[in-house]
């Protein structure tokens, strides 16, 4: 079994773990008959089928039905029926007790309502672009005007499809932990992790984790 990938250090380590060779997708002209994919970013089912991925044993990474399902947007309920066709209304209900209080919004009216609710109940809101990572493109909001200013800086087309997340601002505490699992072929592991903090423009954010 051979593993085509973008060839970064992460892919090299997985290839060593599985005892396979590493083939670079961009430079290899022909792939072997058996392929294990390392996906560098979230991929859709359509793209996965094009690559020949049939089940979870064929790849490492994330495959979703629609791109929006792989973002922070799916973690919270909406306040109205203004959302894209790809929206999955059932998932936020399933994880409601595991997430910070908040909403996902796709229009200015729902943004105003979400900010009013969160600011009234918690004093501060954190507004996030659900496509961003590592603490980027998010801001702590203390009044509605600040929220509107932040949203004006976000691509309106992306915000209309992927939405914005408005949630209660979680203070940076001494230690925040997360749990998860990962699968590599027939191998699976469970792990705990300490969430890291990063500083952007003088403010601390959670960004990434140190796994144990």
Digit-coded pLDDT (tens) for 141-184: 898 888 777 777 666 556 566 889 999 987 765 567 788 888 88
Q: Is 2's pLDDT higher than 80?
A: no
Could you read off the pLDDT of 5-19 as tens digits, one per residue?
444 677 888 888 887
Mean pLDDT throughout 48-72? 88
Q: Is the pLDDT of residue 21 over 90?
A: no
Of residues 136 and 173, more confidence is placed in 136
Mean of per-residue pLDDT scores for the chain: 81
Q: How far is CA 119 from CA 108, 112, 122, 123, 129, in A?
A: 16, 10, 5, 5, 18
Of 157, 151, 145, 209, the closest CA to residue 180 belongs to 209
Q: Where are the alpha helices (DSSP H) in the chain?
A: 9-18, 45-51, 90-94, 108-122, 144-152, 156-162
Q: What percent of the chain has pLDDT over 90?
A: 17
Q: What is the predicted pLDDT for the residue at 212? A: 72
pLDDT digits (tens, 9 = 90+) for 87-131: 888 899 898 888 889 999 998 889 999 999 999 999 999 998 888
**pTM of the entire structure?**
0.76
User: Taking the CB of residue 162, how many other CB atoms lie within 10 A of it?
Assistant: 22
């Amino acid at each position: 079994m051979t593993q085509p990938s973008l060839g970064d250090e992460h892919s090299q380590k997985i290839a060593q773990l599985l005892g396979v060779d590493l083939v670079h997708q961009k430079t290899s002209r022909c792939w072997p008959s058996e392929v294990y994919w390392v996906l560098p970013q979230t991929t859709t089912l359509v793209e996965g089928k094009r690559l020949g991925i049939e089940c979870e044993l064929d790849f490492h990474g994330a495959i979703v039905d629609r791109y929006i399902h792989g973002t922070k947007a799916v973690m919270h309920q909406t306040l109205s029926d203004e959302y894209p066709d790809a929206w999955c209304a059932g998932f936020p209900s399933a994880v409601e007790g595991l997430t910070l209080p908040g909403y996902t919004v796709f229009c200015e009216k729902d943004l105003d309502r979400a900010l009013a609710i969160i600011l009234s109940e918690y004093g501060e809101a954190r507004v996030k672009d659900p496509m961003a990572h590592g603490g980027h493109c998010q801001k702590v909001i203390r009044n509605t005007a600040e929220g509107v200013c932040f949203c004006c800086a976000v691509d309106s087309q992306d915000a209309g499809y992927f939405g914005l997340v408005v949630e209660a601002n979680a203070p940076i505490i001494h230690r925040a932990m997360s749990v998860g699992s990962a699968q590599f072929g027939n191998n699976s592991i469970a792990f705990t992790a300490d969430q890291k903090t990063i500083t952007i423009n003088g403010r601390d954010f959670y960004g990434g984790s140190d796994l144990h």
